[in-house]
Amino acid sequence: MILAADAGNTRIKWGLHDGGVWLEKGWSNTADSARLSDAWSGISAPGQIVVSNVAGPAVRNQIELACKRWPVEIQWIKATDCQCGVRNGYENFSQLGSDRWAALIAARSMLHEACIVANVGTAMTVDALSSDGVFMGGIIVPGLMAMRSALAESTAAIEVSGGSFKAFPGNTADGVYTGALSAMAGAVERMAEELHRAQGRLPLRVLSGGDAESLLPLLSGNAMMVDNLVLEGLIRIVLA
């Protein structure tokens, strides 16, 4: 039994995997990481624990405390130069976030073709993966909530609460929401264009994360959404 956890800025997503399928999945707010022990109190004892943590040392400590009940060493994932068929093209491969690395590994194992991997969370990362498994680089932009919050903090007269996507927004709230989501879609499409030029073929867009469902309809090219892509990558790393 494998316990996999993806600790991000907003949520800690986790799942219990038997080596073939997911038996259980759940999540906790990162701000409530001290309650992880309670959240995991009823799950079957894992024989392996694998974690991606980009939420900082305090959250790492809480994960360690929650796992103390099991005599299992935690495998903390870090980006390497090459793993599970993915080669890391970052200038300093160790600077690549463990969540991005795991997502790239998951996408490679699923597709085996050039693709754009976008994790749409508090921040949105948009990474280019070549047809032969090379991570070519990626961008980081604010996510939907972060963009809207930035407007609220920087302006006095713009209403940023509520809102929904409209082709032609007729009020400020819709204008802010539509503008933020459109900017995110533009970032994904821009990276897809760059990868198209480099690879000579239109890449698939692979989305994951809390706002992936909202972003998906705005993309002009072939796109798909994968639930908990980081967790999928963590399992592939353990089983490799």
What string of H, E and C letters represents the secondary structure of 174-199? HHHHHHHHHHHHHHHHHHHHHHHHHH
Q: What is the mean pLDDT of residues 210-216?
A: 95
* pLDDT over threshold 70, residue 227: yes
Assign 3-state DSSP to the chain and report helix, strand, coil percentages, each to 5: 40, 25, 35
Residue 81 lies in a domain: no
Q: Are residues 59 and 133 in the same domain?
A: no
Residue 93 lies in a domain: no
DSSP assignment string, 161-172: SS----SS--SH
Expressed as residue numbers, the domain containing 55 is 2-76
Q: Are residues 67 and 118 in the same domain?
A: no
Query: How far is residue 131 from each of residues 77, 81, 86, 88, 204, measured CA to CA in Å?
Result: 24, 17, 10, 13, 11
Q: Are residues 130 and 24 in the same domain?
A: no
Residue 219 lies in a domain: yes
Q: Are residues 59 and 17 in the same domain?
A: yes
Q: Are residues 216 and 120 in the same domain?
A: yes
Q: Are residues 134 and 46 in the same domain?
A: no
Nearest to 97 by CA among 114, 116, 80: 80
Residue 239 lies in a domain: no
pLDDT class of 18 with cuts at 50, 70, 90: very high
CATH of the domain at 23: 3.30.420.40
Q: Are residues 135 and 197 in the same domain?
A: yes
pLDDT, position 158? 72
- How many structural domains is the chain composed of? 2
Q: Are residues 66 and 140 in the same domain?
A: no
Q: What is the mean pLDDT of residues 45-57?
A: 97
Residue 154 lies in a domain: no
pLDDT tens for 142-193 read 999 998 888 877 776 676 778 899 999 999 889 999 999 999 999 999 999 9
Q: What's the whole-model pTM score?
A: 0.93
pLDDT class of 136 with cuts at 50, 70, 90: very high
Domain final position from 50, 76, 102:
76
pLDDT, position 172? 87
Q: What is the mean pLDDT of residues 2-31?
A: 95
Q: Which residue has the higher pLDDT, 149 or 137?
A: 137
Residue 157 lies in a domain: no
- Which is the catalytic residue, given 99, 127, 174, 227? 99
Domain final position from 32, 53, 76:
76
Q: What is the mean pLDDT of residues 217-239?
A: 95
Q: Are residues 119 and 220 in the same domain?
A: yes
pLDDT, position 148? 87
Is residue 130 within 8 A of residue 113, CB to CB? The reply is no
Residue 234 lies in a domain: no
Q: Are residues 118 and 54 in the same domain?
A: no
99 classed as catalytic = yes
3-state secondary structure at position 235: helix
Query: CA-CA distance, 203 to 193, in Å (whole number)?
Result: 8
Sheet holding 123-129, edge to edge: 82-83, 86-88, 134-142, 123-129, 115-120, 204-208, 223-225
Q: Are residues 68 and 131 in the same domain?
A: no
pLDDT, position 105? 98
Query: CA-CA distance, 9 to 178, in Å (whole number)?
Result: 23
Query: CA-CA distance, 27 to 88, in Å (whole number)?
Result: 29
Interhelix angle 229-239/98-111, nearest 10 degrees:
80
Q: Are residues 25 and 133 in the same domain?
A: no
Q: What is the mean pLDDT of residues 21-34?
A: 94
pLDDT tens for 58-116 read 999 999 999 999 999 999 999 999 999 999 999 999 999 999 999 999 999 999 999 99
Domain final position from 34, 54, 76:
76
3-state secondary structure at position 102: helix
